[in-house]
């Protein structure tokens, strides 16, 4: 998949997923071998979501290289989860990928998380509670 097709796929998921009530693309760009997407959204439960991902093409696949995906309550006061690749927890397995769960100080190992993977995660999590 090339970066242009990836952006198109993300935009298709954004308009079709039932877990988002609205979203705004803050910035996006793509080249032949990399791209970037940043957006803000409101989830079906009123929570706030901010996603940012720089990705590259490696062996024909899109790979997130640098990302920060943050899920907060509607007032943006309580952190639900944040997935990121900032290299500040070298002692964790899977470094630099990690997840903040429920607070800045509760940090667990993570894996690379693309925007598409995160949207699927949220669909599984939220649709389970609202069905």
Residues 6+ apart with CB under 8 A from 71: 43, 47, 48, 49, 79, 80, 81, 82, 122
- Is the pLDDT confidence value at 131 over 70? no
Domain ranges for the chain: 3-71+111-130
What's the pLDDT tens digit per position in 64-100?
Answer: 999 999 999 999 999 999 999 999 999 999 999 999 9
- The 3-state DSSP class for residue 115 equals helix
Does residue 10 register a pLDDT over 90? Answer: yes
What 3-state class would DSSP assign to 14? Answer: helix
Joined together, the tokens standing for residue 25 give: 């693309």
The pTM score is 0.92
Beta-bridge partners for 70: 50, 82
Averaged pLDDT, 40-65: 96
What topology is assigned to 3-71+111-130 in CATH?
A: Nuclear Transport Factor 2; Chain: A, (3.10.450)
Per cent of the chain over pLDDT 70 is: 98
């Amino acid at each position: 998949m090339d970066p242009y097709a990836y952006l198109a796929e993300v935009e298709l998921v954004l308009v079709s997923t039932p877990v988002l009530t609205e979203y705004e693309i803050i910035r996006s760009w793509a080249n032949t071998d990399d791209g970037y997407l940043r957006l803000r959204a409101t989830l079906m439960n009123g929570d706030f979501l901010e996603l940012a991902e720089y990705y590259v093409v490696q062996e024909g696949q899109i790979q997130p290289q640098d990302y920060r995906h943050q899920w907060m309550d509607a007032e943006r006061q309580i952190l639900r989860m944040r997935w990121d690749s900032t290299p500040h927890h070298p002692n964790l397995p899977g470094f630099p990928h990690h997840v903040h769960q429920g607070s800045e100080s509760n940090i667990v190992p993570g894996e690379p998380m693309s925007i598409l993977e995160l949207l699927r995660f949220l669909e599984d999590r939220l649709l389970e509670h609202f069905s």
